[in-house]
Amino acid sequence: MINEYYILRDNEKHGPYSHIELMDMEVNATELVLSPLATDWQEAFELPEFDEYFKSIGIYAPTTSNVANFGWRLLAFVIDYVIITIGLGLTVGIFVAIGRLTTSTISMDPLSSTSSTERDLLFRLIFLLILTSYNSTFEATKMQGSIGKFICRLVVVNINGQRLSFGTALSRNLLKILSSFLFFLGYFAMLWSPMKQCWHDQRAKTYVVRKPK
């Protein structure tokens, strides 16, 4: 029968099932399935009849053909950088304005007592904390990526194509600090990685995938 599918679980062959029954069983994207139209086992995400099912539950199994390239990831980063910079600038502007309206001291700027070097370091630290929190939070939601990634149709997934837990997302974004060392060499590592992974992706075992239209 055309619907005689078999699945390999716990090193045992189970079936036959229809592909609808396999979806009801919540087949994993990387589980081995024997299709009635094939002679060898394949991972479930390789079978086109499961495409819509996996997309509907937010699973995008990483392959060499769908991982995002350097250009798309750079564009997403630029969009996020602009969003956070504008947001941070507006926030600081509001606090400075409130400080000037409520203080009667000679110094109108609440940061005027610190040196320019200290202010620069403080802003860099705040920006890094906001960027880490921003990316980690969005990657753990149904969006599976930041606003910039959403605009560019990118999602961050684990090795099984699933959404990241907040812990994994946070680890991934903290590891970006390592990728920033030596003139951002860790980011450029994706140029020679078969699955286009930066150092932080490799260590967190994550992938950035471009969703099909």
Q: Which of 194, 213, 76, 211 is nearest to 157 (CA)?
A: 211
Query: How remote is the C-alpha of 77 from its chain's centroid?
Result: 12
Clarify whether residues 35 and 92 are in a common domain. Answer: no
In a domain, 9, yes or no: yes
Clarify whether residues 110 and 149 are in a common domain. Answer: yes
pLDDT tens-digit map of 165-213: 999 999 999 999 989 887 889 999 999 999 999 999 999 999 999 998 7
Q: Which two tokens stand for residue 205?
A: 């075992």
Clarify whether residues 47 and 96 are in a common domain. Answer: no
Clarify whether residues 37 and 134 are in a common domain. Answer: no
How many angstroms separate the CA atoms of 43 and 176, rounded? 31
Report the Cα–Cα distance between both ends of the chain, in Å, rounded.
33
Q: What is the model's pLDDT at position 102?
A: 79
Clarify whether residues 110 and 40 are in a common domain. Answer: no
| Average pLDDT estimate for 141-158 | 96
Q: What is the model's pLDDT at position 113?
A: 57
Phi and psi at residue 89, to the nearest 5°:
-60, -45
In a domain, 91, yes or no: yes
**What domain range is 11 assigned to?**
5-56
Indicate the number of domains in the chain.
2
pLDDT at 106 over 50: no
